[in-house]
Amino acid sequence: MTEILLNNITFGYNLDIVLRNISLIVDKGEFLVVVGPNGAGKSTLIKIMAGLIEPVSGQVLIGNQKVHMAAKQGIIGYVPQYYAQNTAAFPATVEEIVAMGLANRPKLPSDKGARHIVKHMLELVDAEKLRHRRIGELSGGQQQRVMVARALAANPSLLLLDEPTSGIDYAASERIYKLLSQLNKTLGITIVMISHDIETATQYATKVACINRSLCFYGDNEQFRSSHATMRHLWYFS
């Protein structure tokens, strides 16, 4: 079954065309890693998948419905880039941050239900012990796990992550990849993750897309890993 359908997407900021004629289909249950050089349009593409910005032309369907309808139903979880930098002075606890994700559900749970969901989400990302801490006091890796819990609180079928391991050390990055892989395998959540960490991130992927303003490569993880060494100059410098 199709989770994401992008049909001939073109997008520009003012006159600068950032994405050109991108078409791809992501099936339910895939773990797609999106790679490409700086400024290639990866964040822009993931924002289009989240319904945060509209393409100039082309069609975006999530679970066979228009992206803004899917977003209203809480089907799409989005974890933005560089969250850590925005939160240092933010006076909310981990529990409160995760509870914010409940607002993306079509129907709000009762207070008791909300407490139960928040607790469960924190358990899923192994952050129960952090629940009373202020978000700004946490390390980058801990903050990212909390942001994943916040996105999961809406019960999405699709999780979009923009460089969740940026600025995070090797061990903490591995924990985040393993967590995402587990959510993908055990809960069947479709994952799209942007990463510059090609070697490690693609080990967890089922599919890889390489974007450089247009789609340079889209295929299975094994296909990507076997062609990357010979093709990467063409993909990155074209």
Contact set with ligand ATP (CB under 6 A): 13, 18, 36, 38-44
CB-nearer residue toward ligand ATP: 82 or 188: 82
Between 155 and 195, name the residue whose CB sits nearer to ligand ATP.
Answer: 195
User: Would you say 167 and 174 are in contact if contact means Cβ atoms under 8 Å apart?
Assistant: no
| Residue nearer to ligand ATP on the CB measure, 42 or 145 | 42
Q: Please, what is the minimum distance in Å from the beta carbon of residue 91 to ligand ATP?
A: 28
**Cα–Cα nearest to 29, from 219, 155, 189, 192:** 189
Structural tokens at position 196: 């510059």
Kindly give the residue spans of alpha helices, DSSP state H, lying in 130-220.
Answer: 140-152, 170-187, 198-204
| Closest CB to ligand ATP among residues 102, 215 | 215
At closest approach, how far in Å is the CB of 110 from ligand ATP? 39
Least CB distance from residue 40 to ligand ATP, whole Å?
4
Name the strand (E) or helix (H) holding 79.
strand 76-79
To ligand ATP, the closest distance from the beta carbon of 45 in angstroms equals: 7
Closest Cα partner for 146 from 177, 175, 125?
A: 125
CB of 163 to ligand ATP, least distance (A): 7
Q: Residue 79 — φ and ψ, nearest 5°? A: -115, 110
Token code pair at residue 211: 């974007």
Tell me whether residue 159 or residue 210 sits nearer to ligand ATP (CB atom): 210
